[in-house]
Amino acid sequence: MTGGRRVIGFDPGLRVTGWGIVDARSGRLSHVANGELKPDPTAEIADRLSELFNGVTQVIEEFAPDMAAVEEVFVHRSPAAALKLGMARGMALVAAANARLPVTEYAPRSVKKALVGGGGADKAQVQYMVRILLPGCNPAGPDAADALAVAVAHAHGMPFAAMSG
């Protein structure tokens, strides 16, 4: 892509990993693609991670982004839940690193603040702003919308990258 950059954003999870791709060119953003990877919920964790890794790798190969942005783990339930989210996040980081993409990580509150103006925004508010910022975009679901939000925040060069919320 001449004069711009293609960013892939990830909202990693073991049940659903959202991904979203935007092109940033001349100060404008455009939606490229988005989706949600949903491994078999009855499979062992290692098998789900493998399925997610293969899916993420395929998306990266298909859309050839220039850089990746990954949402950090948000600890809200239990240490076990955080550990599982961390595994999914690691999968996304390794897939991006294997594709030789520079990777930036963002705290969920920072992404919400960048898009909505407040770190406590809910998923509906994030989805609304993604649709406003990317006209014609129809996110595949809430995790895809979150992934697009991460990509948009990165494409806009968030000055508080990787800050905790």
* pLDDT tens-place values along the chain, 165 residues long: 445 799 999 999 999 999 999 999 877 899 999 999 999 999 999 999 999 999 999 999 999 999 999 998 766 678 888 888 899 999 999 999 999 999 999 988 888 888 887 777 788 888 888 999 999 999 999 999 999 999 999 988 744 333 333
11, 23, 72, 105: the catalytic one is 11
23, 36, 105, 143: the catalytic one is 143
Judge whether 11 counts as a catalytic residue.
yes
Judge whether 47 counts as a catalytic residue.
no
36, 71, 72, 146: the catalytic one is 71
pLDDT reported for residue 76: 64
pLDDT reported for residue 130: 92
- What lies within 8 Å, CB to CB, of 52 at 6+ separation is 12, 14, 17, 37, 39, 88, 91, 92
pLDDT reported for residue 101: 97
pLDDT reported for residue 116: 80
pLDDT reported for residue 3: 56
pLDDT reported for residue 161: 38
Neighbours of 104 (CB within 10 A): 18
CA 138, CA 78: separation in Å to the nearest integer? 32
